[in-house]
Amino acid sequence: MGNEVTNFNDILKNSFLNESMFGNLSAIDILLGLLTAFMTGAFIYFIYKITYKGVLYSPSFNLTLLIMTMITALVIMTISTNVVLSLGMVGALSIVRFRTAIKDPLDVVFMFWAIAAGISSGAGLYLLTFIGAIVIGIVIFVLSRKKHTDIVYLLVIHYTEEANDEVKRELQKLNYTLKSKVVRKKHIELTAEIGLKIDNTSFMDKLGELNGVQDVSLVQYNGDYAV
């Protein structure tokens, strides 16, 4: 009677030793998964290239997105054939640390997109991979082409103390936010954030004509760095 009693540990052990826990992938399944990952990664590569709005386009990062999609698919196909191996791989991947700084938040979106596409490709969900890629690609493309009513710029002015009042008077005519002001031996550097609906920069000529103003610079600003 005692030998017939099966506890939870025995069930778990028998489950892991069962042959059904180990699967095999055919060469066709592997090629289809990698081909789907490659096609989706190439589509992500194309969308990233035509919608990039940052300071400096990085071909190496874009290529990384394509390769990441294929590698993720390969990892998913590997762990899907062996439950024991999947647990070990999860532990191995948990110690990986990526220290590369991501300057553009949209780059993180593309990285998650590449990983998600690789997961669905490796799991054999080819229709989901293609439909998801098309829908996400259209959304990113449409939003990237949307025109903003206000374009934000940084206005940098170098002037002496004698022009301080006149500079303030001219700045009051603009919708500006003071970002920084540095004073060095009666020489002042003022940085202000302004929003312009059209490319009307006539105010720069007025500022440049003031006595004591040395130079006036205007650069586009996206929230993190100037363009």
What the chain holds in terms of domains, given with CATH numbers, is: 22-144 (no CATH), 151-220 (3.30.70.260)
pLDDT at 2: 45
Q: Please tell me what DSSP assigns to residue 176.
A: E
Q: Please tell me what DSSP assigns to residue 146.
A: P
CA dist 8 → 14, 19, 84, 86 (Å):
10, 19, 18, 22
Residue 157 tokens read as: 């002015």
- The pLDDT profile of the chain, 227 residues, written as one tens digit per residue, is 444 445 655 555 555 555 444 456 778 888 998 999 999 999 999 999 988 876 677 888 889 899 999 998 988 888 776 655 655 565 555 555 656 666 677 888 899 999 999 999 988 899 999 999 999 999 999 988 776 556 778 888 888 888 888 888 888 888 788 888 888 887 888 888 887 766 677 788 888 888 888 888 888 765 554 44
Cα–Cα distance between 96 and 90 in angstroms, integer?
10
Measured over the CA atoms of residue 144, residue 106, residue 178 and residue 220, the dihedral's sign is negative
pLDDT at 91: 57
- CA 218 distance to own-chain centroid: 27
Cα–Cα distance between 151 and 61 in angstroms, integer?
27
Considering only CA atoms, which of 155, 159, 205, 162 is closest in space to residue 180? 155
* Predicted model pTM: 0.61
pLDDT at 151: 72
pLDDT at 150: 62
- CA 119 distance to own-chain centroid: 19
Q: 33 exposed, middle or buried (CB, 10 Å; 0-12, 13-18, 19+)?
A: buried
Residue 55 tokens read as: 């300071």
